Amino acid sequence: MIKVLIVDDHHLVRTSIAHLLENEEDIDVVGEAASGEEAITLCRKLKPDVILMDLRMPGIGGLEATHKIMRNNTDVRILALTGFMEDNFAQRMLEAGAGGFISKDTPVPDMVEAIRSVFAGHRYISPDIAQRLVLSRFDSEENPFDKLSQRELQVAMMIVNCQRVSEISDRLFLSPKTVNTYRYRIFEKLGIETDVELTHLGLKHGLVDGFDATN
């Protein structure tokens, strides 16, 4: 039996996926989490085999949660899940230790196949994402967020998702001064001066889903 933990900040998405998986005889949804922080806690408690991990969530997000979970739980498999994909974020998730990457419009049979595949220790990337990753190698347009370090990217994602410096400080266990230092470095590297410019750049390059700046 494959024990699955579903992580997504939208309740409807979590319950819909759980409902779709309940008829699979070899899959047991053992829990649901609404944030990266909750995913880390439930991973220690429930010891799932596979985590369906949303990429963009309030708080530390799926990328940092994947880093933290894989650092301490080498047996768990993470299958990244996203509704709006930018190539370099898929690559960073895979580098963080995710065993696969699928989009939220992946057909149910393919999602089930992906869960079984990463559980077996294989890498699974849905065809649409795999095609984009291949094509991105020949794309001459540079993604400015590639210039950022892992921590800078995390802070940037939190800023464009409307989180204040005090919130970022609390969630990342950093001082407000340190957060502002990261913010300054982000602006400098991206050639921008305001949070509004960062948000517009984030919308263009996939840090937020569509125009919903709260996701």
Every domain of the chain with CATH number 1.10.10.10 lies at 144-205
The band of 197, judged by pLDDT with boundaries at 50, 70 and 90, is confident
Quick check: 24 pLDDT over 90?
yes
Segment (H or E) for 52: strand 50-54
How large is the average pLDDT for residues 187-213? Answer: 73
Percent of the chain scoring above 70 in pLDDT: 86
Q: Is the pTM of this model over 0.85?
A: no
How large is the average pLDDT for residues 104-111? Answer: 88
User: Which of 127, 59, 56 has the alpha carbon at shortest distance from 93?
Assistant: 56
CATH number of the 144-205 domain = 1.10.10.10
Every domain of the chain with CATH number 3.40.50.2300 lies at 2-136
pLDDT for 41: 95
How large is the average pLDDT for residues 155-164? Answer: 82
| Residues contacting residue 74 through CB under 8 Å, at least 6 positions apart | none
CATH number of the 2-136 domain = 3.40.50.2300
